[in-house]
Amino acid sequence: MKTPKRIEPLIEDGLVDEVLRPLMSGKEAAVYVVRCGKELRCAKVYKEANKRSFRQAAEYQEGRKVRNSRDARAMAKGSKFGRKETEDAWQNAEVAALFRLASAGVRVPKPFDFLEGVLLMEMICDEYGDAAPRLNDVTLEPDQAREYHAFLIQQIVLMLCTGLVHGDLSEFNVLLTPTGPVIIDLPQAVDAAGNNHAFSMLERDVGNMASYFGRFAPELKQTRYAREMWSYFEAGTLSPATVLTGVFADPDEIADVGSVLREIEAARLDEDRRQAGRAADDAPPGKTEEPPPPWMQ
Ligand SMILES: Nc1ncnc2c1ncn2[C@@H]1O[C@H](COP(=O)(O)OP(=O)(O)O)[C@@H](O)[C@H]1O
Ligand SMILES: [Mg+2]
């Protein structure tokens, strides 16, 4: 096919020999199948910031490392230079996450290069060498669902051990190969320790996995892996070998019982006071409140 303009620099640099076909054009990027020597790879072309959607939201950017303090100041001020740096940091975040995760043993596409807003990576294939389907495109047996779910929980733990939360994990961002699931689409990956929203994003990622695989093995919907792994992470004891159960007794809930009881007691006292006030208002002038009956004194 005719080379898309954005991929031309990669051809000029000899990174890509030929663009074969478009694979998918999503909300964030267009993905092409390209030939590099004898290998097929994927080229992910990021859309311009103004064509991209919600995921640049501040909640994803928090805690993200910027190259130097001048860049950080410019980004904070939102100057023209700053906007460009925000844009670069955003596009590089996926590349950085892929390198980091691949070397930690997480199953993600192997990144090869990043040039002028185009990421060149391993093409994840099905048994025929075509692009692998997304989880959303397949139907699973209950046992397969349990196995893949357990594997992905383990992958989420590995990611957390390297300090990252995917932030947009769902059945649309996991590809299924003959040797198991592969996680893709990480430009919004967040810093687990530096971002205040990391836990809620982790909970959403883990919840998406439970509800997707729960379609085939309903008991998975009851699991609570996010809180369990986060409690180890916060205590600094999470490791790839940590054994998780999916069951989590929330200590907050026990504490909450106490606070609910206190609130009930406070409301009861308020009501008593109100009743007493009303009794005083109703009393004829000059006469104060009735003394309590002897059995209450
Ligand atoms: N490395 C890859 N190998 C095979 N298919 C891929 C690869 N990367 C992306 N795709 C396909 O392209 C689609 C869009 O890529 P993705 O990274 O999820 O970007 P978007 O932000 O547009 O969702 C994916 O749903 C998947 O079908
Ligand atoms: Mg996607």
* Rounded (5°) CA angle 46-126-202: 55
From 185, 186, 188, 208, mutation site for ligand 1 pocket: most ligand atoms within 8 A of C-beta = 185
Report CA 176 to chain centroid distance, whole Å: 19
Token pair in block for residue 187: 């430009």
> Cα–Cα distances in Å, from 200 out to 204, 259, 284?
6, 23, 59
From 21, 23, 46, 56, mutation site for ligand 1 pocket: most ligand atoms within 8 A of C-beta = 23
Token pair in block for residue 60: 């994803």
| Mean pLDDT for the stretch of residues 258-279 | 83
pTM as predicted: 0.77
Q: When comparing pLDDT for 220 and 50, which is higher?
A: 220
* Tens-place pLDDT, residues 180-190: 999 999 988 99
Query: Average pLDDT over the chain, rounded to whole?
Result: 85
* Tens-place pLDDT, residues 203-230: 999 999 999 999 999 999 999 999 999 9
What is the model's pLDDT at position 91? 54
What atom of ligand 1 comes closest to residue 31's alpha carbon? 12
pLDDT for residue 78 is more than 60 = no
Q: How far apart are alpha carbons 169 and 91 in whole angstroms?
A: 18
CA 185 to centroid of ligand 2, rounded, Å: 5
Query: Which fold does the domain 133-273 belong to in CATH?
Result: Transferase(Phosphotransferase); domain 1 (1.10.510)
What is the model's pLDDT at position 26? 77
pLDDT for residue 153 is more than 90 = yes
Which ligand has an atom closest to residue 32 CA? 1
| Mean pLDDT for the stretch of residues 50-78 | 56
What is the model's pLDDT at position 75? 52
> Cα–Cα distances in Å, from 220 out to 188, 209, 213, 231?
26, 9, 7, 20
Torsion of CA 249, 250, 251, 257, to 10 degrees: -110
* Percent of the chain topping pLDDT 70: 77
What is the model's pLDDT at position 218? 97
Which ligand has an atom closest to residue 135 CA? 1
Q: How far apart are alpha carbons 163 and 141 in whole angstroms?
A: 33
Residues with CB under 5 A from ligand 2 (ion): 173, 185
Confidence label for 27 from pLDDT (cuts 50, 70 and 90): confident
Residues with catalytic function: 168, 185
pLDDT for residue 249 is more than 80 = no
CA 248 to centroid of ligand 2, rounded, Å: 30
- All structural domains of the chain with their residue ranges: 133-273
Please list, in sequence order, all residues whose beta carbon lies within 8 angstroms of the beta carbon of residue 34, skipping any fewer than 6 positions away. 7, 10, 16, 17, 18, 19, 20, 40, 41, 42, 43, 120
What is the model's pLDDT at position 38? 96
Q: When comparing pLDDT for 130 and 76, which is higher?
A: 130
pLDDT for residue 266 is more than 60 = yes
pLDDT for residue 297 is more than 80 = no
